[in-house]
Amino acid sequence: MPLIEIARRTGSTVAVVRRIAGKVDRTSHHRWQEDTARMIDAEPLTWRDKVARWKAETGQGEVTFWTVLKRLKP
């Protein structure tokens, strides 16, 4: 389960959950980021709207969104 979802369910923040949970499964986390980025990027939205949606869905910033999209491109 992504940290953002755990934070949302517990009423906490991602930073607090990360400190309590310790290391996370990077593969699962990257897969979740990539799935979310693909879904958002496929929509006919402006870059600004895509970034806003990314922030709302993941709690992460524009640079992370761009990095994940770059990681998806061959």
74, part of any domain = yes
Q: What angle do CA 13, 69, 58 make, to 5 degrees?
A: 15
pLDDT digit string (tens) for 7-65?
A: 889 998 888 887 777 666 678 788 889 999 999 999 999 999 999 999 998 889 999 99
Is residue 12 included in any domain, yes or no?
no
Q: In this structure, is residue 30 part of a structural domain?
A: yes
- Number of domains observed in the structure of the chain: 1
Q: What is the DSSP string of 5-37?
A: HHHHHHT--HHHHHHHH-S--HHHHHHHHHHHH
Whether residue 14 lies inside any domain: the answer is no
pLDDT at 38: 96
For residue 19, what pLDDT is reported?
A: 78
State which residues form the domain around 41. Answer: 23-74
